[in-house]
């Protein structure tokens, strides 16, 4: 259970989050101030209505000759004040709309940018459904909070101040005292009970995000669910979480009923006391009927919106809880950051050098141990080894998805830790083993390698990747939708899209991470010819599982448990009769079966 000290929306976090929201409002601060001015004018007009009503009532009880003149003027004033109140209210809404929605937009973009800047480690560990839900609630909470502040909390405070000023200035202090006491007890009761109820809200948020994540995760892995016939298991897991959410929601609603009854009781008692004293003052001749009407009107104007204050306070607390999720996400530190003096990577030759590189995803589990090698400009170096040897880790380090824990990586003599990540990644293209595509058209996914590429360039890259004819044969051609994560395409088709995309980028350095693992033999031979042709123009790092795909490499690096154990070309390594030779014999044996 979340304790009071651990609660993510304690007072310090609330104020911290409110301060964090201010930069998103600053751009339209003029509009916000004007909306605030409209709010004050509206409440001044609103408070003026009972004052004029008092004069109307008192005049109607006055001298007959005044009845024909003054009520007409006062009635016109009464209508003008009501009109002014409505006008300034609507003007406030219109002016403040831009402030609210712009803040939502800026916060959404800021969070989206920050998510892209977080490390690969964060995204490997993230729960997509939960993050999506937290982001949705959090950005909406900014609009909701500003809505409550401008349309509920500040108006109530302004109106309360004006009413208190009139009561203290014109009537016995007992009226102001009862009003202040009622409001103070009401606010104190609301705050205390709502704080008690917040545990239920936090629990509901957690279970809501958890159920959303389970649903998204299950649908993303639709095929796996079907493979193992586990629809019932998924439904049970989802229903179990929603069952816990249901129980928490019922407790929350029950406690809210207790809160609502308590608030209504406090208001009823306060109004009864004030009306008793007001009626008594009229009987004693200390107040007129108009004064009684005015005090009654003030109470209606004050306590009716005050009756919603409990709802507003609860919603503000809930909103702050939702907002806290987003600001905590924004506070998640970047694991890999550009240094303050980071320069642009200048690639002239495209030479890669690893110098005594150590790395581990966790400190207690090192992956690479003193790995050193170089790839000369325009050369092709292949990396082979058993699963878990650290092959794919090399490409992740070269892209600087992680920082090395020891040693350094150089491109044309420049330490990649000292250059900007953007310039580094512009210089490298990759064909990954597991190609994931956007749920968009084939054209969009191909052009992603170079958004400025022309149709001629796209078609040329598609022909080089041997996917042009396939695209042309589709009923919708280049506009064919590939489905979520590219599920409408086969593994081989997705890899050919990835190859075309890398070719279209035209970087000086290319990485092929088992780039033909999903291809049939005929297509693999065609692609190998293409890769050989493409690699001739670039510095190429090939990570391979099938050794037949890298026999023409200039150098082959053999990794075993994160260490370089052999290095040389294909013939040299076979002559060594070491690990590479054993792997070669094993694959030949498997291919012949």
pLDDT of residue 530: 66
- Each residue's pLDDT tens digit, 490-509: 877 888 888 888 888 888 89
Query: Does residue 3 carry a pLDDT above 50?
Result: no
The yes-or-no verdict on residue 342 having pLDDT over 70 is yes
- Which one has a higher pLDDT value, 249 or 301? 249
Binned at pLDDT 50, 70 and 90, residue 409 comes out as very high
Q: Specify the range with the lowest mean pLDDT, choosing from 120-134, 263-277, 426-440.
A: 120-134
Q: 3-class DSSP state for residue 341? A: coil
Nearest to 380 by CA among 557, 545, 501: 557
Query: Does residue 419 fall inside a structural domain?
Result: yes
Same domain, 297 and 401: no
Which residue shows structure tokens 């008692």? 269
Q: Helix 154-170 vs helix 173-220: angle between axes, to the nearest 10 degrees?
A: 170
Q: How far is CA 348 from CA 205, 273, 418, 536, in A?
A: 53, 87, 17, 16
Residues 140, 142: Cα–Cα separation, whole Å: 5
Please give the pLDDT value at position 64.
Answer: 53
Q: Does a structural domain hold residue 477?
A: no
Residue 574's pLDDT band (boundaries 50, 70, 90)? very high
Is 286 found in the same domain as 154? yes
Same domain, 210 and 284: yes
Tell me the C-alpha distance between 104 and 145, whole Å.
Answer: 11
Residue carrying the six token digits 């892995």: 221
Answer whether residue 442 is part of any domain: no
Average pLDDT value for the chain: 81
Q: 362 and 325, same structural domain? A: no
Percent of the chain with pLDDT over 90: 13
pLDDT tier at 7 (50, 70, 90 boundaries)? very low
> Can you tell me the distance from the alpha carbon of 169 to that of 186, in angstroms, rounded to the nearest whole number?
24
We report the CATH number of the domain holding residue 577 as 3.40.50.300
Question: Does residue 498 lie within any of the structural domains?
Answer: no
For residues 360 and 325, membership in a common domain is answered with: no
3-state secondary structure of 337: coil
Q: Which domain holds residue 271?
A: 11-330
Q: Is 9 a residue whose pLDDT tops 50?
A: no
For residue 492, the Cα-to-chain-centroid distance in whole angstroms is: 33
Could you tell me if residue 436 is inside a domain? Answer: no
At residue 211, φ and ψ (nearest 5 deg) are: -65, -40
Q: Which of 326-335, 406-415, 504-513 has the highest mean pLDDT?
A: 406-415
228 shares its domain with 125: yes
493 to 420, 430, 437: CA distances (angstroms): 33, 16, 11
314 and 242 in one domain?
A: yes
Going by pLDDT thresholds of 50, 70 and 90, the confidence category of residue 5 is very low
**Distance separating alpha carbons of residues 450 and 196, to the nearest angstrom:** 55
437 domain-assigned? no
Read off the pLDDT band of 352 (50, 70, 90).
very high
Q: What is the mean pLDDT of residues 469-482?
A: 89
Contact between 404 and 357 (Cβ < 8 Å): yes
How high is the pLDDT of residue 523?
64
pLDDT of residue 307: 61
75 within 8 A of 55, measured Cβ to Cβ: no
What is the Cα–Cα distance from 208 to 219, expressed in whole angstroms? 17
- Helices and strands (H, E) in the chain, number of each type: 21, 10
Task: Give me the pLDDT at residue 89, please.
Answer: 80
Within 118-230, where are the H helices? 120-125, 128-148, 154-170, 173-220, 222-227
Across the range 549-569, mean pLDDT stands at 89
In a domain, 455, yes or no: no
Can you give the three-state secondary structure of 357-410, one letter per residue? EEEEEECCEEEEEEEEEEECCCCEEEEEECCCCCHHHHHHHHCCCCCCCEEEEE
Overall average pLDDT of the 527-555 stretch: 78
The answer on 150 and 224 residing in a single domain is yes
If we measure between CA atoms, which residue out of 144, 175, 459 comes closest to residue 312?
144
Looking at the structure, tell me whether residues 221 and 360 fall in a common domain: no
Contacts of 135 (CB under 8 A, 6+ apart): 108, 111, 326, 329
294 shares its domain with 407: no
Name residue 343's beta-bridge partners: 419
pLDDT of residue 373: 92
pLDDT at 482 over 80: yes
Nearby residues of 294 by Cβ (< 8 Å), 6 or more positions away: 50, 51, 53, 54
**144 and 247 share one domain:** yes
Six-digit token pair at 29?
């601060």
Residue 500 included in any domain? no
Render 59-118 in DSSP notation, one character per residue.
HHTS-HHHHTTHHHHHHHHHHHHHHHHHHHHHHHHHHHHHHHHHHHHHHHHHHHHHHHHS
What is residue 2's predicted lDDT score, i.e. its pLDDT? 37
Q: Are residues 317 and 397 in the same domain?
A: no
Q: Decide if 437 contacts 497 (C-beta within 8 A).
A: yes
Neighbouring residues of 407: CB distance < 8 A, sequence distance ≥ 6: 354, 355, 356, 357, 358, 370, 371, 372
Contact 92, 35 (CB under 8 A): yes
Could you tell me if 354 and 373 are in contact, meaning their C-beta atoms sit under 8 angstroms apart? yes
CB distance 58 to 290 below 8 Å: yes
**Residue after which a domain boundary falls, among 269, 298, 330:** 330
**Number of domains the chain is built from:** 2
């Amino acid at each position: 259970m979340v304790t009071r000290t651990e609660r993510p929306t304690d007072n310090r976090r609330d104020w911290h989050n409110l301060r964090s929201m201010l930069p998103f409002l600053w751009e339209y601060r003029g509009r916000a101030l004007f909306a605030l001015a409209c709010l004050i004018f509206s409440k001044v007009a609103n408070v003026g209505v009972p004052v004029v009503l008092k004069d109307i009532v008192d005049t109607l009880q006055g001298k007959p000759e005044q009845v024909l003149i003054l009520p007409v003027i006062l009635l016109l004033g009464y209508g003008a004040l009501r009109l002014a109140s409505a006008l300034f209210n609507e003007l406030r809404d219109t002016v403040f709309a831009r402030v609210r929605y712009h803040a939502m937009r800026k916060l959404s973009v800021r969070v989206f940018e920050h998510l892209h800047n977080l490390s690969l480690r964060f995204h490997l560990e993230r729960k997509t459904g939960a993050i999506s839900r937290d982001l949705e609630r959090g950005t909406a909470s900014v609009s909701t909070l500003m809505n409550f502040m401008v349309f509920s909390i500040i108006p109530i405070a302004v109106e309360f101040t004006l009413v208190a000023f009139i009561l203290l200035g014109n009537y016995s202090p007992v009226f102001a005292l009862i009003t202040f006491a009622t409001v103070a007890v009401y606010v104190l009761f609301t705050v205390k009970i709502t704080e008690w109820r917040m545990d239920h809200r936090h629990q509901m948020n957690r279970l809501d995000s958890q159920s959303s994540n389970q649903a998204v995760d299950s649908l993303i892995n639709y095929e796996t669910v079907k493979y193992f016939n586990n629809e019932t298991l998924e439904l049970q897991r989802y229903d179990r979480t929603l069952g816990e959410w249901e129980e928490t929601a019922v407790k929350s609603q029950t406690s809210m009923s207790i809160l609502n009854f308590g608030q209504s009781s406090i208001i009823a008692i306060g109004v009864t006391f004030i009306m008793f004293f007001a009626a008594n003052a009229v009987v004693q001749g200390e107040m007129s009927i108009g004064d009684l009407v005015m005090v009654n009107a003030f109470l209606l104007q004050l306590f009716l919106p005050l009756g919603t204050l409990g709802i507003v306070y609860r919603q503000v607390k809930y909103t702050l809880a939702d907002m806290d999720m987003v600001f905590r996400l924004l506070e998640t530190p970047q694991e890999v950051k550009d240094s303050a003096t980071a320069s642009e990577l200048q690639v002239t030759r495209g030479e890669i050098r690893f110098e005594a590189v150590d790395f581990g995803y966790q400190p207690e589990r090192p992956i690479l141990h003193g790995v050193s090698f170089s790839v000369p400009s325009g050369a092709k170096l292949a990396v082979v080894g058993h699963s878990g040897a650290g092959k794919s880790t090399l490409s992740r380090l070269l892209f600087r998805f992680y920082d090395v824990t020891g040693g350094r990586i150089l491109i044309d003599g420049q330490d990649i830790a000292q250059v900007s990540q953007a310039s580094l990644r512009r210089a490298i293209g990759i064909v990954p083993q597991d190609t994931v595509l956007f749920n968009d058209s084939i054209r969009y996914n191909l052009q992603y390698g170079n958004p400025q590429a022309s149709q001629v360039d796209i078609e040329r890259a598609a022909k080089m990747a041997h996917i042009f004819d396939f695209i042309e044969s589709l009923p919708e051609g280049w506009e064919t939708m590939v489905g979520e994560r590219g599920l409408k395409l086969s593994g081989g088709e997705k890899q050919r899209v990835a190859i075309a995309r890398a070719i279209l980028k035209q970087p000086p350095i290319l990485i092929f991470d088992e780039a033909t693992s999903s291809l049939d033999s005929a297509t693999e031979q065609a692609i190998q010819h293409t890769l050989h042709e493409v690699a001739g123009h670039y510095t190429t790092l090939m990570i391979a599982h099938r050794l037949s795909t890298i026999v023409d490499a200039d150098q082959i690096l053999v990794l075993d448990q994160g260490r370089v154990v052999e290095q040389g070309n294909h013939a040299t390594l076979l002559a060594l009769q070491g690990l590479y030779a054993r792997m070669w014999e094993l694959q030949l044996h498997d291919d012949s079966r």
